[in-house]
Chains A and B, each alone.
Chain A
């Protein structure tokens, strides 16, 4: 069965994906300067500290920009096109971006500025990704 590509966790990203698979959105945060780093890093780009911890976040944010994919070139996505891909900015910090397909919304409903909230999509048994739906 064709499925969306499943993330391959590595040493840096494993805590993120473990939390997601347990139903929590956690983002790496620099212990020293408190800057959220996503994707997770070794060295904080702001203060160069190597001390980080994963912190659960509210799961809310706003749509920053988006596209609607009409012509995907991968079978898992041609099956469901057209679909939105939105860049959302989490409420915790400006510039803290994640992607989402805005599940449950019609493509015409997707607009910059709308509020969103996290949910989790199962790609294959036991493996999830965060998604963000419109807060209605």
Chain B
């Protein structure tokens, strides 16, 4: 076996069409994405012997889970594509990195030869995203529900405290969001490019609808229905396939359980720093070695926070750094640019960059990419490289 032989690499990618509010089951998009990824790898469904996905509805409204309709699991895809899977994993987690990370462990361990990792987000027609009307609050919600704090607000107060401590402004976010929209229009796998989006000016941002101060509508990724899939195998097997393999050099999937009602801002940032610590240690590279950074932006202010946590800039410098980054940043246009897919675009662009298939977005000589997903206290990260470590 060569030195790269047993390292995990991404060898195929696929992305479904993006719907704003779909009237088709999520399973249909998942089948499409998986077929594309398998074909992209130069393989057949019968080659796939490992399947990982996230069985997590985009928004729990007390509705029953209907596999293939509003949620996904490995069994659904095994049936749909007639796969003979020796290994499966179904993670209950937000960030799309998670199923790739699990699949990378499986191929390295030899539990799977060619593993399929896919993730979909569900957003049906006929319903306002996030709407509900509970009359009681149970569990931890006893201390949160009665105060009317929702998903944007649960993050927004961290953004507020960051801006309070370090002086970041909405004008800086406006500049970031505006430039990001330009990138979004070049990101063919995303909502804005597929649905006739236009430029976003700084004034558009500054006068837009507030959601939960300091988050306005343009700080929040637009809910969509979409699915992406990735095929992973070992370095040795990748040699026979059509794409340049993109190695998974480092991963981080920490779990944080707040010890009190609210995780403090300092602890929140520390969680992100822990992700960074693991990524750099495992991958054997550091921020200065990275060719392209795709830092999660489901809420826009997460990008400067991830940048600080991973060491791309110093504490509190994120807001100014993100507008003058020291390396290509969010060339995918992130989730802000592509729609709410919990980190898919960050992963997909990172892989395409290193495969040399990023077209107009291509960063010359891209060798190392990092893709983070989700919030810092529940986030996942992957360092990809054209060379294994």
Contacts and interface: CB of A to CB of B under 8 A. Distances in A.
Interface of A: 2-10, 13, 17, 37-39, 45, 64-77, 80, 82-83, 85-87, 95-101, 107, 112, 123, 129
Interface stretch (B36-44, B146-154, B306-314, B326-334): B146-154
Given A7-B142, A98-B261, 16 more contacts: A5-B135, A5-B146, A7-B136, A7-B146, A8-B136, A8-B142, A65-B157, A65-B160, A67-B157, A68-B213, A69-B149, A70-B213, A73-B129, A75-B133, A85-B147, A86-B157
B260 A77 contact: no
A5 B128 contact: no
A123 B129 CA distance: 26
A6 B212 contact: no
A3 B148 CA distance: 11
B146 A74 contact: no
Chain B contact residues: helix, strand, loop or mixed: mixed
A70 B109 CA distance: 49
Contact of A4 (B132, B143, B148, B210): B148
B286 interface: no
B265 interface: yes
B147 A99 contact: yes
A62 B127 CA distance: 39
19 contacts: A5-B135, A5-B145, A6-B137, A8-B138, A13-B142, A64-B264, A65-B160, A65-B161, A65-B164, A67-B160, A69-B148, A70-B209, A71-B211, A73-B131, A73-B150, A87-B157, A87-B262, A97-B260, A101-B147
B130 A73 contact: yes
Contacts of A38: 143, 260-261
B288 interface: no
Contacts of B137: 5-8
Nearest to B220: A71
Interface residues of B, number: 44
A80 B148 CA distance: 10
A16 B208 CA distance: 41
Contacts of B209: 70-71
B188 to A, nearest CB: 30
A97 B210 CA distance: 26
B148 A6 contact: no
A49 to B, nearest CB: 14
A8 B144 CA distance: 12
B133 A68 contact: no
Contacts of A37: 260
A9 B142 contact: yes
Contacts of A71: 152, 209-212
Nearest to B141: A5
